[in-house]
Structure 1
Amino acid sequence: MKKFRKKQIWRVIIGLFALLLVINLGATLYFYQIACVRNNQQIGQVKSSSPNYSLVQKFDKLSKSTESIKNDGLKLDAWYVPAEHKTNNTVIVVHGFRQDKSAMRQYGQLFHELGYNVLMPDNRGAGQSEGKFITFGYHDKFDVIAWANYLTDKNPESQISLYGLSMGASTVMMASSEKSLPSSVKNIIEDCGYTNAWDEITYQAKESYNIPPFPLVYSVSLESKLRQGWFFQEASATKALTKDKLPILLIHGSNDTYVPTSMVYENYKAVKKGTPKELLVIKGAAHAKSFETNPELYRQTISKFMKAYNP
């Protein structure tokens, strides 16, 4: 009788464990689809009520060409807008999570008005670029480097700045420490980038779904490793900044609850000792809204930084 009861108890335990595994597997696939699989629905477009909407309208009237490269077996597309007056100075403008290059038109116009050529890529898995997965900067950083090499090959006198927003911000920070980054890249501007993909996804799981990291975030990270070759912890801007030698301007909104403002202080602190660095926290700005919240201060700060490090 006792043996029978023990068997029954073990069957219940094993059954519950199997059920939990099935539930976790289903949840893993669901959240991996949300976080890491391409979705062409556009987000983050500037509204007509925005103080920066006129920049979008001006950008739409500019003459632009479509440029293409191949990297990691993927065809990647970008807009290229030449400066009004010929220059060797170019800014690569990198968009954020589930955006495409069209969401960056206000920033493209900003740098155009400051006198720079502008290259605005679609990240892999977005817009007109190929790719099935979103990689949170892990693979994207090499795409940005490929674009920098493309510009340098076309013009060996190129002086390049990297600008990124949100996921794009973390991407350009990750690119900063790579040995393959060409010497033509002179400085970096990041706006509201996260420390690393693990921190950001763990934060979003808690804030948006009230889900603790274990076991779900661990299993989604494992799914990423199996399908894309990287764990969430490996997509780290903070780690890259400990090796960064390029001057960097870090921007964040004080009211950012999507990529918490605390992350910009972690990234700022992590920058390699001796590397020129500046910090701008825009009071009252939500995620990716610093430029729209205080356009004048944003423009002035970027203009001053660019004059100092990519004039």
Structure 2
Amino acid sequence: MKKFWKWFLIVVGVLLVIDIGAGMYFFHTAEVRDKKSFISNDAKITKNDPLLRQKTWYKNVKKENWSMTSATGDLKLKAYYIPAERPSDKTVILAHGFLQSKDGEGGPAAMFHELGYNVLAPDDRAHGDSQGKLIGYGWTDRRDYIKWMNKLLKIKGSHQQLVMYGVSMGGATTMMVSGEPDVPTQVKAYIEDCGYTSVEDEITYQAKSMYNLPKWPLVPTVSLISKIRAGYDYSEASSLKQLAKNKKPMLFIHGSKDTFVPTKMVYQLYDATKGPREKYIVKGAGHAESLQTDYPKYKRTVKQFLNRYME
């Protein structure tokens, strides 16, 4: 019997070491600022890009460089501000995707500029020109965006009407912001494009999709490491939970052929929000491709949605 327990403990110990080692590896893959092989952060403009005109405009337009300290007070964050062509009290705050940056916001920035909006495009912590080593998947960023909003209102005036828009991780960030109790009253509406239901759901899905690994025990282990190192676990970083506290209008956009953040998530998100809601599924669009798949209809849908809530 003693021999059995000896070997049992050895096996458990070996499995625990393997689990922790794998957890540390996948934590680095998921959250540590670095180039990732599974996603591109290339913001180069190609001649066959459906959004060539919009991205070229964005590259060349004069931008104001803004900066502030993060909500946690330890990081310096950067942003671009582009005033509308004509004086306007309407401003959109753009939230970019995973490993993206403000430099890659040409499509949505141009669309909102064409609609008469000022544009504020921040770099999330651990992205672009902002400081930080750990990626927050929207959860740690949500407080930074509220601080950006307040900075904007202080500089440009409290009469501003604000809209928040985000794609992919930026879509999740937008939804996570929506559930905060101190969002400025000047925020009139939100638009999220292909955001995930929660970090836990997305990491679980990617573990299966990319590595054919089950949720247990890997995802809980990585989540625990995240709690220790980054200050949050994956279950608390939930768009669904935040939407349950949101009462402002939200437009949900998703590509019908999204296999990175599966399309089924948008229906759960749509059902979760407590505010006025609309849904736009872009036929044939993959992940974060809805804007380029049908730019005229996308722009028209956004315009019609905002016209209902902006004065």
In the TM superposition, residue 7 of structure 1 has moved relative to its aligned partner by 3.1
Could you tell which deviates more after superposition, 7-16 or 282-291? Answer: 7-16
Cα separation, partners in 2 of 1:40 and 1:81, compared to 1, 3 Å: farther
Q: CA RMSD in A?
A: 1.3
1:61 — aligned with what?
60
- The yes-or-no answer on 1:264 pairing with 2:263 is no
Within a 5 Å distance, the mapping from 1:1-311 to structure 2 comes to 6-39=1-34, 43=41, 45=43, 48=46, 49-71=48-70, 72-73=72-73, 74-154=75-155, 155-272=157-274, 275-311=275-311
Question: What amino acid does structure 2 have at the position aligned with 1:130?
Answer: Q
Structure 1 runs, 4 residues or longer, greater than 3 Å off: 44-47
- Count of matched residue positions in the alignment of Structure 1 and Structure 2: 304
In the TM superposition, residue 54 of structure 1 has moved relative to its aligned partner by 1.7
Distance 1:234 1:113 in 2: 37
- 2:45–2:56 contact (8 Å) kept in structure 1: no
Distance 1:53 1:234 in 2: 38
- 1:252–1:264 contact (8 Å) kept in structure 2: yes
Distance 1:212 1:174 in 2: 26
SS in 2 for 1:230: coil
> Unaligned regions of 5+ residues in structure 1, if any?
1-5
Cα separation, partners in 2 of 1:300 and 1:44, compared to 1, 3 Å: farther
Distance 1:282 1:276 in 2: 20
Question: What is the TM-score when the length of structure 1 is the normalising length?
Answer: 0.95
Distance 1:75 1:187 in 2: 27
* Rg larger for: 1
In the TM superposition, residue 11 of structure 1 has moved relative to its aligned partner by 2.5
Identity %: 45
Distance 1:284 1:47 in 2: 23
- 1:170–1:237 contact (8 Å) kept in structure 2: yes
Question: What amino acid does structure 2 have at the position aligned with 1:303?
Answer: K
In the TM superposition, residue 251 of structure 1 has moved relative to its aligned partner by 0.1
In the TM superposition, residue 44 of structure 1 has moved relative to its aligned partner by 5.8
> Unaligned regions of 5+ residues in structure 2, if any?
none
- 1:76–1:130 contact (8 Å) kept in structure 2: yes
In the TM superposition, residue 24 of structure 1 has moved relative to its aligned partner by 1.0
- 1:201–1:217 contact (8 Å) kept in structure 2: yes
In the TM superposition, residue 47 of structure 1 has moved relative to its aligned partner by 5.0
Distance 1:46 1:180 in 2: 37
Distance 2:226 2:42 in 1: 25
In the TM superposition, residue 63 of structure 1 has moved relative to its aligned partner by 1.0
1:87-118 CA distance string (max 9 Å, x none):
11100010011111112111111111111000
